[in-house]
Amino acid sequence: MKALIFDLDGTLVDTVYAHALAWQAALAEYGIETDAARLHRRIGMAGDLLVQEVARDNGTKLSPAKSKSANERHGELFARLAPKPRPLDGAVELLRKLRQRRVPHGIATSGERDSIRPAIAALKLPAGAIVVDGTSAHQAKPAPDLFIQCQRRLRAPEKDCFVIGDATWDVLAARRAGMLAVGLLSGGYGEDELYRAGAFRVYRDAGELLGSIGHLGLSL
């Protein structure tokens, strides 16, 4: 039996653009000016890793305490920009079919517990849905830890797991975990970026993946 492990932002909920703008505004308050497009390509990493990398690119450094506050400030600004995250096309239906057919599946996201709650609510997941978040992992993506934790909770061997994500970080972390990765364009990456990272297949969004689910050896 195959199992599916989903990223959250840009894969199931339409939050990547709001995250990019929230990071841009939060970092500017800490003196770090960066183009939104560069932040866009870093969404999905752990927040503290993102702050470190962007600071370094700007030739500066934030103390761990300031990095933590910048991360929290990003959370506040994001909640203002996207108070009710919108499920991406096909996401709610795909998840519902997976439940109906009892296909093991879960969510593995670098986001932290409190900040992802509205997204989980928007997806209408039942109580008991498997969600692994950045709070519980030693290392967030592109480390494979989150996907491996999710896989263990699904009790599926890694060779039977597909990771579904919108970012090159998802694809790289999946490969490090020994899993195949399916890319979705709904987070705004280009198709070639995902294929070059090593995606097994790339679809437009969760809806197109549902229509092509036979490619993964499943029928829904």
Task: State which of residues 20, 120, 148, 177 lies at the interface with its own copies (CB under 8 A).
Answer: 20
Q: Is 211 in the site for its own copies (CB under 8 A)?
A: no
Residues in the chain: 220
- Residue 10 sits at φ, ψ, to 5 deg, of 85, -10
Count of chain residues binding its own copies (CB under 8 A): 27
Q: Is 133 in the site for its own copies (CB under 8 A)?
A: no
Q: Is 37 in the site for its own copies (CB under 8 A)?
A: yes
Distances from the Cα of 12 to the Cα of 15, 35, 85, 206, 217, angstroms: 9, 25, 10, 7, 21
Reduce the secondary structure of the chain to three states and give it as a string. CCEEEECCECCCECCHHHHHHHHHHHHHHCCCCCCHHHHHCCECECHHHHHHHHHHHCCCCCCHHHHHHHHHHHHHHHHHHCCCCCECCCHHHHHHHHHHCCCCEEEECCCCHHHHHHHHHHCCCCCCCCEECCCCCCCCCCCCHHHHHHHHHHCCCHHHEEEEECCHHHHHHHHHCCCEEEEEHHHCCCHHHHHHHCCCEEECCHHHHHHCHHHHCCCC
Task: State which of residues 48, 72, 93, 193 lies at the interface with its own copies (CB under 8 A).
Answer: 193
Q: Is 36 in the site for its own copies (CB under 8 A)?
A: yes
Task: State which of residues 88, 137, 148, 172 lies at the interface with its own copies (CB under 8 A).
Answer: 88
Q: Is 79 in the site for its own copies (CB under 8 A)?
A: no
Q: Which is nearer to its own copies, 113 or 124 (CB)?
A: 124
Q: Is 44 in the site for its own copies (CB under 8 A)?
A: no
Q: Is 152 in the site for its own copies (CB under 8 A)?
A: no
Q: Is 86 in the site for its own copies (CB under 8 A)?
A: yes
Q: Which is nearer to its own copies, 77 or 161 (CB)?
A: 77
Q: Is 14 in the site for its own copies (CB under 8 A)?
A: yes
Which of these ranges, 1-9, 18-26, 97-105, 110-118, lies near its own copies under the rule CB under 8 A?
Answer: 18-26
Q: Is 164 in the site for its own copies (CB under 8 A)?
A: no
Q: Which parts of this chain interact with its own copies (CB under 8 A)?
A: 10, 14, 16-18, 20-21, 24, 33, 35-37, 40, 81, 86, 88-89, 185-193, 205
